[in-house]
Amino acid sequence: MGKDLTKVTNTVFVCNGGTCKKNGAEENTRELRCAIKMAGLHEVTHTVKTLCQGQCENAPVLFLNPEGGWYKRMTAETIDEFVKQKLISHTGFDDHRLFKEGWTTMLAAKTIEPKTHDELTHHCDEHAGDVYGAVIYPWEHNVYPLLKEIFMVYRDTLTIYYRNQVLNSAAFQLTYKDGRAQIRGNIASEALEVVMAAPRESEYFLYKVSKVKLYQKADAFNGIYLMNSKQGIFLRVEWRSGSDFWNHLVDNYVMISG
């Protein structure tokens, strides 16, 4: 039977995304649930394991509701303190605070500078030729919406190069499952796969997107290409569009904060 949520006063969202896991999130989750049980707080405290919470540079992280507090660099030892201070005595635990709703700055363990318009340069790309463009973050939550947007908005005008083969099929559909995006046209042999998330130990790791470039050419063609360490460039897509769509892509997928 599920937990009686009418009794719950605190919910702890424990990140178990890739980076947090690499830094001990599974052990933290186990110790947190153990400490909650031992403190007799099981009925009033709910724990939820999540995928990446977008704070990898502060990993492992957790979020406490309804306090609205984020906590960074958690370990099995600090989990015990967290339970004592936050769930029992409701005091500080300030050394591990990352952010609290209402604050105007974050106390990040490490800061990644946001990308700016300076990222975009005119240069000769060894694969795409003379372009104006930038390399973007290859995170799945950046690349998947980028692909979806391009395939949905411009799918009838795309030129697609997949592993050096040109695909002509229109009306591509994009679906996503288990860290891999499937792109299918109306010809079975033109189904393509993009591995966006794979644990380091997985057989798919070498096929995971490791570099993405978004570019514009002088002839008004826009394009992206995706690389992985096994195959180099495996997917390149080009399309013709006006400046509005290009600016929208730049603002959403290049100029993002770390």
Among 16-24, 101-109, 195-203, 241-249, which window interacts with ligand FES (CB under 6 A)? Answer: 16-24
Does 74 engage in binding with ligand FES (CB under 6 A)?
A: no
Bond preceding residue 114 cis, omega within 30 of 0: no
- The continuous run of DSSP H or E covering 82 comes out as helix 76-82
Alpha-carbon distance 32 to 104, whole Å? 29
Does 20 engage in binding with ligand FES (CB under 6 A)?
A: yes
Among 53-61, 64-72, 101-109, 129-137, which window interacts with ligand FES (CB under 6 A)? Answer: 53-61
Does 52 engage in binding with ligand FES (CB under 6 A)?
A: yes
Does 99 engage in binding with ligand FES (CB under 6 A)?
A: no
Question: Is 199 within 8 Å of 176 (Cβ atoms)?
Answer: no
Report in angstroms how near the CB of residue 91 gets to ligand FES at its nearest.
Answer: 25
Does 169 engage in binding with ligand FES (CB under 6 A)?
A: no
Q: Which of 32, 36, 56, 83 binds ligand FES (CB under 6 A)?
A: 56
Q: Which of 61, 194, 209, 224 binds ligand FES (CB under 6 A)?
A: 61
Which segments within the chain are labelled E, that is strand? Answer: 10-15, 45-50, 62-65, 69-71, 97-100, 121-125, 129-136, 159-162, 165-167, 173-177, 180-184, 192-195, 211-216, 221-228, 232-240
Long-range Cβ contact pairs of 169-178 (< 8 A, separation 24 or more): 174/147, 174/148, 176/144
Q: Which of residues 129-158 bind ligand FES (CB under 6 A)?
A: none
Which two structure tokens, joined as six digits, stand for 103? Answer: 């604050």
Does 228 engage in binding with ligand FES (CB under 6 A)?
A: no
Among 54-62, 100-108, 163-171, 245-253, which window interacts with ligand FES (CB under 6 A)? Answer: 54-62
Residues at the interface with ligand FES (CB under 6 A): 15, 17-20, 52-56, 59, 61
